[in-house]
A and B are shown apart, each in its own frame.
Chain A
Amino acid sequence: MTFSSPSTGTRRLADKWKRLHWGIITVLCWLAAIGVVMHLSVAGDAWNGQPLSHGTRFAVVLAVALMLAMIDLRFWLAIAYPLYAFSLLLLVAVDLIGAVHMGAQRWLDIGPLSLQPSEIMKIALVLALARYYHQLDARNSSRAISLIPPLLMIAAPTALVMKQPDLGTSLLLAGAGFGLMFLAGIRWRYIVIGALIAGAAGFWAYEFKLQDYQRDRIATFLDPEADPLGAGYHVAQSKIAIGSAGLLGQGYQKGSQSQLDFLPEKHTDFIFTMITEEFGLAGAFIVLGLFAALLTMTMMVAVRARTLFGRLASGGVAITLALYVFINTAMVIGLVPVVGIPLPLLSFGGTAMLTIMMGMALVLSVHVHRDYSPGSSGFLW
């Protein structure tokens, strides 16, 4: 494979700046701003600390993302496999020498930096799969044999992350990977067969391989409210906060569940609960609306891109983002088990924000370079 310049040539920077997707950037800023407001509510109007930190972090990451958006799409294509390989290596390293925080081995301590390779992998996997399908021609993509590399590419990091253990992230990786394969056009019959095999394997394992206590653990996991003082405490308190919110909420800084600490993790995983408690259904729907707009715009970027790589990369990021939002909100209202997935741009925490914003940088780059077309001069190879 060789790289050659596209027919349009390298655009000038100012030109690219104009082509940025300002709709997406606006929504991102709104969400981050709401995050700052909620962290201010937790901190009792004290700027120093989390509100300021959340705001600055977003500003810095956004600046980086805008710069990355200027970089030619070929750069992303070029680093796809190396980045994936590197991430996988880091995951193995975490397994061997990683630091244990809060009962899970997820971090690599490199000097003052605490690195969470599973977060890099979220972007790396999307890039690598997009790269794989990009180079595959349509005939090959429909062959069963060509399903094997992407499945392995998904399975390896998912298994490593599951082992940490970080169920939430491994679900996210698997979900985004399979979603991307779906977008890439694998045949329905394989989807059906795959689903049947997975179901059968799960049933077989549950019935014949698991011990009773393991089954109990799964039952508690799936229905946390059966254990209201243990695993279900978070969800029970969250449901109380949301249920008692009403149309307009208890008011800024007046949510008793959040402000009196009945709601745990209110500034991280359960921030959606706090938004609902203080600003009611109205606040919750505004946040959901902003995410819906962000997802729609991201998918539209994918549809409008003219290269399969751009389409799949953007679509993969959209699916990742959708999974974040859906798992988090469904978790806080007790629809799915608590797996520790933050709400992008709102929850406090640097790693998740970095991951999402890098994904958005990729999407913005796809949008900036949307006119690259395949075939006209053998785009990208």
Chain B
Amino acid sequence: MSAKRDLMSIFTRRSLIVMGAGGVGLAGIGVRLLWLQGEDAFNKEYTKAADSNRFDLQPIVPPRGVIYDRFGDALALASKDYRVSIVPEETENLEEAIRALGDLLGMAPETVARRIREAKNRRAFDEVLIKNNLEWPQFAAVNVRLPELKGVRAVVGEQRYYPYKEAFAHPVGYVQKASQGEIDRVEAADREAAGLPAKAQPGETFDSSHARYLRTPDVRIGKAGLEAQLENTLQGAPGWKQVEVNARGRVMNELAGIAEQPKPGDAVVLSIDAELQRTAMESLADESGAVVVMDIVTGEIIVMASAPGFDPNDFVNGINAAKFRELNGWDHKPLFHKAVTGTYSPGSTFKVSSAMAVLEAGIDPKQKLNCPGYFFYGGRAFHCWQKKGHGSIDLHDAVKHSCDVYFYQMSIRMGQQHMADVARQLGFGQKFDISLPSVSPGVVPDQAWWTSKRPKEPWPAGMTLNTVIGQGDVLASPLQLCVMAARIAARGRAVIPRLVIEGGKIPPPAPATLLPFPAAHFDYLHAAMFGVCNEPGGTATRWGELNLARDMSTGRVLDVKDAPPGSPRVRMAGKTGSAQVRSISAAERAGGVRMGESIAWVLRDNALFVCFAPTDAPRYACAVVVEHGEHGASAAAPVAHDVMRATLMRDPASRTAMKLARADKPEKPG
């Protein structure tokens, strides 16, 4: 290169290089643009990403299936919900607007403050619920003022409603918003099904539609009772509509179309008669207890009452903490389903099963045993409830008078296993699937059960004596007691209880099997239980008189006054029971068993009663438990008396039950 470089020609050369570089750069950009288009043409990755940005699926909540009683009365249905909400961005001053609404609706200042906080934490275009469940006058008051209340929306929504309130709280249950835990579980399950790790990775686009649906404000899921157990039937399938949203999630366009129509939930029909259920709840009044009534022919449960109840409507929008604490803390346990989840020592009602065991053991029921009021066994005195004793007594009278000592002696002759076998055949220790959660199987003690609990210890001798009178470790739910009464009443047909009679993919009832007990044994027991309620000296003789008679021309059961003169009386047969909830020490017994006001309510005996009617042609069986009612005859039998009387007069089994219309759902062949 020359010493004097020609800068001008160097410049020209280099500017060509610069232009070349610029050309290459711009060409690179162009190639990259083409490349991105090519990629998209090949796998549509970017188009899909743009669409998934732009379109959002919003759930359409399907109507939840109605729950009917056996005659078509709705127990759980959708009802109008008048609600007022506010759109923050449409108000001039959000706080003032909410305060004004609060004044208008008479809301507590704390609630108003909470709503203001909520509204401030949400996106400005999200509707915030201020109050729902409004009475019509309040709702109308807001509606009238809508023009001046900027940003306020008054809408009529739908929500689950339980018209019978307390009466069906336990069998029907209630719905609530899904909890965060439930949503997380659903999301985790969907993620697993999609083959993804349990925790979301940053930037991934997986979206569980099920979880998204559960997060939708209007969606409720069954949390208790049938609502929970039949969730899949009642819920239906959500629909999805496509909406166009912007980057902040605001809906820009609703008309993008419906991606999937919602499928309404299926209705179900229960075997319960709402009218009789209400009677049962009224009969239990302020007591804590349960009533179960069954049709002994079909096994259909006519009444399933658990008292005290609670208003399930309080739970639908989230129950307030103070109310929940009150329900949860009360010793009457209103949230507990006593009819199927509660288990009790059956007490003397178990003697029905024990008497059958005596007959089955081939023992002559006419054989008399002496009851001096106590029985020594294993170095210990076992007492009869009748301190002075029953004297010489046979099986019939032992049932009628509920003599403990007779059964103590018989239990030793029969043995525990024999008693347990008979009890199981009558329904004890069995878990019945009646589409309810938490159905208790109860306990029937025998050697196998004992070994599984305490493998090292020998069978305790006193256990046999306790079992035969329904004390000790025997536990049964009111439902099981009713099944026992039904199987006795049905002369050995192994009736299986049913609660859902239509809908809910419930298989048709299997034909009941026959228990291998001779008819004569049932005749004997029927007579003995008749004696309890109708013969002098029977423990429930006061309550056997139902004052009912059968009009022979129509076959209907009527009050004696209304029936033609000379119509045959309709009677019931039963068995009382009183079960200790604590063991009584010898010292206490010596001082006289204290009862009534002298001891705390929770320590008083449970009162029980099982029965069936009419005695000449049994149709209904009933079991009643009154917690801490002390005497079956005085606390449980009157309830059974009222409920059975009402049931016999109404005779739900003779009337046609509701049929769900099947026209829209043709049976699939095969």
A residues in contact with B37, CB < 8 Å = 243, 245-247, 281
Are B3 and A183 closer than 8 Å at their CB atoms?
A: no
Instruction: Verify if A220 is at the interface (C-beta below 8 Å from B).
Output: no
Are B22 and A295 closer than 8 Å at their CB atoms?
A: yes
> Quick one: which of B31-58 are within 8 Å of A by CB?
32-34, 36-37, 39-40, 45-47, 49-51, 53-54
Are A183 and B252 closer than 8 Å at their CB atoms?
A: no
**Contact A318/B53 with A185-B11, A242-B33 known, Cβ cut-off 8 Å:** no
Task: State which of B14, B19, B28, B47 has its C-beta within 8 Å of the C-beta of A296.
Answer: B19
A residues in contact with B5, CB < 8 Å = 138-139, 141-142, 185
Stretch at the interface among A39-47, A91-99, A323-331: A323-331
The number of chain A residues touching the other chain, given as a range, is 35 or more
Are B252 and A244 closer than 8 Å at their CB atoms?
A: no
Are A179 and B18 closer than 8 Å at their CB atoms?
A: yes
CB closest residue in chain B, given A319: B18
A residues in contact with B15, CB < 8 Å = 183, 299, 302-303, 311, 315
> Quick one: which of B243-277 are within 8 Å of A by CB?
244-248, 252
Are B19 and A308 closer than 8 Å at their CB atoms?
A: no
> Quick one: which of B1-33 are within 8 Å of A by CB?
3-8, 10-12, 14-15, 17-19, 22-23, 25-26, 28-30, 32-33
Interface size on B, residues (CB 8 A): 44
A residues in contact with B36, CB < 8 Å = 239, 242-243, 333
Instruction: Verify if B670 is at the interface (C-beta below 8 Å from A).
Output: no
A residues in contact with B12, CB < 8 Å = 303
B residues in contact with A256, CB < 8 Å = 50-51, 53-54, 244
Task: Report Cα–Cα, A228/B39, bound state, in Å.
Answer: 20
Task: Report Cα–Cα, A237/B246, bound state, in Å.
Answer: 13
Are A285 and B11 closer than 8 Å at their CB atoms?
A: no
Task: Report Cα–Cα, A245/B30, bound state, in Å.
Answer: 14
Are B11 and A308 closer than 8 Å at their CB atoms?
A: yes
Stretch at the interface among A16-24, A56-64, A111-119, A257-265: A257-265
Are A185 and B10 closer than 8 Å at their CB atoms?
A: yes
In whole Å, how far is B204's beta carbon from the nearest beta carbon of chain A?
9
Interface class of chain B by DSSP: helix
In whole Å, how far is B48's beta carbon from the nearest beta carbon of chain A?
8
Task: State which of B18, B26, B49 has its C-beta within 8 Å of the C-beta of A183.
Answer: B18
Instruction: Verify if B460 is at the interface (C-beta below 8 Å from A).
Output: no
Instruction: Verify if B511 is at the interface (C-beta below 8 Å from A).
Output: no
In whole Å, how far is A150's beta carbon from the nearest beta carbon of chain B?
14
Instruction: Verify if A76 is at the interface (C-beta below 8 Å from B).
Output: no
Instruction: Verify if B455 is at the interface (C-beta below 8 Å from A).
Output: no
Instruction: Verify if B202 is at the interface (C-beta below 8 Å from A).
Output: yes
B residues in contact with A196, CB < 8 Å = none
Are B247 and A281 closer than 8 Å at their CB atoms?
A: no
Instruction: Verify if B203 is at the interface (C-beta below 8 Å from A).
Output: yes
A residues in contact with B19, CB < 8 Å = 295-296, 299
A residues in contact with B17, CB < 8 Å = 182
Instruction: Verify if A279 is at the interface (C-beta below 8 Å from B).
Output: no
Are B26 and A292 closer than 8 Å at their CB atoms?
A: yes
Task: Report Cα–Cα, A257/B54, bound state, in Å.
Answer: 7
A residues in contact with B46, CB < 8 Å = 239-244
B residues in contact with A229, CB < 8 Å = 202-203
Are A243 and B39 closer than 8 Å at their CB atoms?
A: yes
Instruction: Verify if A288 is at the interface (C-beta below 8 Å from B).
Output: yes
Are A308 and B26 closer than 8 Å at their CB atoms?
A: no
Task: Report Cα–Cα, A184/B247, bound state, in Å.
Answer: 49
Are A182 and B33 closer than 8 Å at their CB atoms?
A: no
In whole Å, how far is A262's beta carbon from the nearest beta carbon of chain B?
5
CB closest residue in chain A, given B45: A243
Are A184 and B7 closer than 8 Å at their CB atoms?
A: yes
A residues in contact with B202, CB < 8 Å = 227-229
Task: Report Cα–Cα, A182/B19, bound state, in Å.
Answer: 13
CB closest residue in chain A, given B21: A322
Residues 32-54 of A, flagged 1 when their CB comes within 8 A of B and 0 if not, give 00000000000000000000000
Are B53 and A262 closer than 8 Å at their CB atoms?
A: yes
In whole Å, how far is A26's beta carbon from the nearest beta carbon of chain B?
19
Task: Report Cα–Cα, A299/B12, bound state, in Å.
Answer: 10
A residues in contact with B23, CB < 8 Å = 292
CB closest residue in chain A, given B246: A260
CB closest residue in chain A, given B247: A261
In whole Å, how far is A321's beta carbon from the nearest beta carbon of chain B?
9
Task: Report Cα–Cα, A242/B49, bound state, in Å.
Answer: 11
**Contact A315/B246 with A240-B53, A243-B45, A326-B29 known, Cβ cut-off 8 Å:** no
Considering residues B18, B23, B34, B51, which has the most beta carbons from chain A within 10 angstroms of its beta carbon? B18
**Contact A260/B245 with A281-B33, A291-B26, A318-B18 known, Cβ cut-off 8 Å:** yes
B residues in contact with A262, CB < 8 Å = 50, 53-54, 246-247
In whole Å, how far is A184's beta carbon from the nearest beta carbon of chain B?
7
Task: Report Cα–Cα, A246/B47, bound state, in Å.
Answer: 9
Residues 475-512 of B, flagged 1 when their CB comes within 8 A of A and 0 if not, give 00000000000000000000000000000000000000
In whole Å, how far is A302's beta carbon from the nearest beta carbon of chain B?
6
Are B246 and A322 closer than 8 Å at their CB atoms?
A: no
In whole Å, how far is B660's beta carbon from the nearest beta carbon of chain A?
46
Task: Report Cα–Cα, A241/B45, bound state, in Å.
Answer: 11
Are A311 and B49 closer than 8 Å at their CB atoms?
A: no
CB closest residue in chain A, given B47: A244
Task: State which of A138, A241, A318, A330 has its C-beta within 8 Å of the C-beta of B29.
Answer: A330
In whole Å, how far is B6's beta carbon from the nearest beta carbon of chain A?
7
CB closest residue in chain B, given A232: B203
Are A322 and B22 closer than 8 Å at their CB atoms?
A: yes
Task: Report Cα–Cα, A168/B30, bound state, in Å.
Answer: 22
Instruction: Verify if A284 is at the interface (C-beta below 8 Å from B).
Output: yes
Task: Report Cα–Cα, A238/B659, bound state, in Å.
Answer: 60
A residues in contact with B26, CB < 8 Å = 288, 291-292, 325-326
Task: Report Cα–Cα, A318/B39, bound state, in Å.
Answer: 33
CB closest residue in chain B, given A335: B32
Task: Report Cα–Cα, A90/B49, bound state, in Å.
Answer: 46
A residues in contact with B34, CB < 8 Å = 281
B residues in contact with A138, CB < 8 Å = 4-7
Task: Report Cα–Cα, A296/B18, bound state, in Å.
Answer: 10
Are B53 and A139 closer than 8 Å at their CB atoms?
A: no
B residues in contact with A299, CB < 8 Å = 15, 18-19, 22
Task: Report Cα–Cα, A247/B37, bound state, in Å.
Answer: 8
Are B246 and A261 closer than 8 Å at their CB atoms?
A: yes
Residues 79-105 of A, flagged 1 when their CB comes within 8 A of B and 0 if not, give 000000000000000000000000000
Instruction: Verify if A276 is at the interface (C-beta below 8 Å from B).
Output: yes
A residues in contact with B4, CB < 8 Å = 138-139
Considering residues A138, A243, A285, A322, which has the most beta carbons from chain B within 10 angstroms of its beta carbon? A243
Task: Report Cα–Cα, A237/B248, bound state, in Å.
Answer: 14
Are A260 and B244 closer than 8 Å at their CB atoms?
A: yes
Task: State which of A141, A260, A281, A288 has its C-beta within 8 Å of the C-beta of B54.
Answer: A260
Are B49 and A240 closer than 8 Å at their CB atoms?
A: yes
Task: Report Cα–Cα, A182/B203, bound state, in Å.
Answer: 44
CB closest residue in chain A, given B14: A183
> Quick one: which of A101-159 are within 8 Å of B by CB?
133, 138-139, 141-142
Task: Report Cα–Cα, A295/B19, bound state, in Å.
Answer: 8
Considering residues A246, A256, A330, which has the most beta carbons from chain B within 10 angstroms of its beta carbon? A256
What are 17 A-B contacts with C-beta separation under 8 Å?
Answer: A183-B18, A185-B7, A228-B202, A239-B46, A240-B49, A246-B37, A281-B33, A292-B22, A295-B22, A302-B11, A303-B11, A311-B8, A315-B15, A322-B18, A326-B22, A330-B25, A333-B33
Closest 8 CB pairs of A and B: A243-B46, A228-B203, A260-B246, A261-B247, A185-B10, A244-B50, A244-B46, A256-B54
Contacts A243-B46, A257-B53, A311-B15 known; 16 new A-B pairs at CB < 8 A: A138-B5, A183-B11, A185-B10, A185-B14, A228-B203, A243-B40, A243-B49, A247-B37, A260-B54, A262-B53, A281-B33, A303-B15, A308-B7, A312-B11, A330-B25, A333-B32
Which A positions have Cβ atoms within 8 angstroms of B?
133, 138-139, 141-142, 179, 182-185, 227-229, 237, 239-247, 256-257, 260-262, 276, 281, 284-285, 288, 291-292, 295-296, 299, 302-303, 308, 311-312, 315, 318-319, 322, 325-326, 329-330, 333, 335
